[in-house]
Amino acid sequence: MPNLRFTEQPLSEWMSQGGKESDIVISTRVRIARNLIHHPFPMLATGQQSEEVLKLLQEVLKDERLQNYGNLHPILLADLEDLDKRILVEKHLISPNLAGESRRGAAFISEDESLSIMVNEEDHLRIQCLYPGFQVQEAWSKATEIDDIFEDHVDYAFDGNRGFLTSCPTNVGTGLRASVMMHLPALVLTQQINRILSAVSQVGLTVRGIYGEGSEAMGNLFQISNQITLGQSETEIIENLYGVVLQIIEHEKNAREKLLSESRLRMIDRVMRSYGILSHAAIMDSKEAAQRLSDVRLGVDIGLINDVPAQVLNELNVMTQPGFLQKLFGENLSPGERDMYRAKLIREKVGN
């Protein structure tokens, strides 16, 4: 039986820890994509060939050095219900692509959920490290240490000119994708966000929603990540992301100060209206919930609200998603029922 603790608890242990600049940067993620030489890439592999890759990588997981990162719990996607797979995606523990590989995909997740090793996703191996707040260097250091352990046991598909070979051309080279999840409500309210994000795209970075490529930026949450994997070293990619995010943090802080100095009463009214609605609403769709929770998070971060812990808001970011709601209240909820239970859940968490 699969370990379902990961789908029953909304808040990953790593998220309950503090992190640098956590009032603006929610989390940091580093993901490394690798493939094994002499093995067809997942999109071309047969079931038997994928099974061989899984067994090979499972042997690597026995390396004692990996025990330094905590117990890794194996999860075979074929053993999971669709709802549980959806929750793992909502918690960012697996990718949507892996969730679709129900026949031959697997994930090995650490006890605190900060490390997820995905097998037979778009690539044979994807090493993902998650940290709270702004910890790009720390996440990269951990990911590359684990990558080195795997490379001691298996031969990666590598080209002297192109670097690491991946299924998608956008990952060829370093195979590195580093990202930060940022809460930028003040830049949105002061209408600076489009200018800032346009500038970001000019320096080799890209902006996505909370679930990556193709997802919507809801609740003023934006995922900033490197767009270039070929032609830059890993160090250059990490340093570029780090430097740009520092600038965005400074812009967001300045925008918050401007709102408080020039529009303080309007800010208080906006935050407290959302606080009141979350505390009493009977129906709440996911988009409104994300926006109202963003307002309250801003109120907490700038000191207008003192009785809502940031951890509660982190929990609600997961618990109000469709998959987790259905896990809590019943697997076959209609959209209207989800809106009702979402409001109920928020009332209980925020109202108390």
Q: From the annotation, which residues make up the binding site for ATP?
A: 27-31, 92, 126, 177-181, 208-213
Residue 279 CB burial class (10 angstroms; 0-12, 13-18, ≥19): middle
Query: Which token pair is 102?
Result: 């129900």
Per DSSP, 173 falls in state B
CA-nearest of 104, 78, 100, 71 to 5 is: 71
- Binding-site residues sit at 27-31, 92, 126, 177-181, 208-213
Query: Which token pair is 158?
Result: 């590598």
Per DSSP, 17 falls in state S
Residues linked to residue 173 through DSSP beta bridges, in sequence order: 164
Residues linked to residue 183 through DSSP beta bridges, in sequence order: 221
Residue 190 CB burial class (10 angstroms; 0-12, 13-18, ≥19): middle
Query: Which token pair is 274?
Result: 């959302």
- Residues 76, 88 contacting (CB under 8 angstroms): no
* Alpha-helical segments (H) within the chain: 5-8, 47-60, 82-90, 96-100, 136-151, 185-189, 193-201, 234-262, 264-280, 286-301, 310-319, 322-329, 335-351
Say how far apart CA 87 and CA 39 lie, in whole Å: 31
Q: Which helix (H) or strand (E) holds 152?
A: none
CA-nearest of 188, 149, 180 to 290 is: 188
SS3 for 101?
Answer: coil
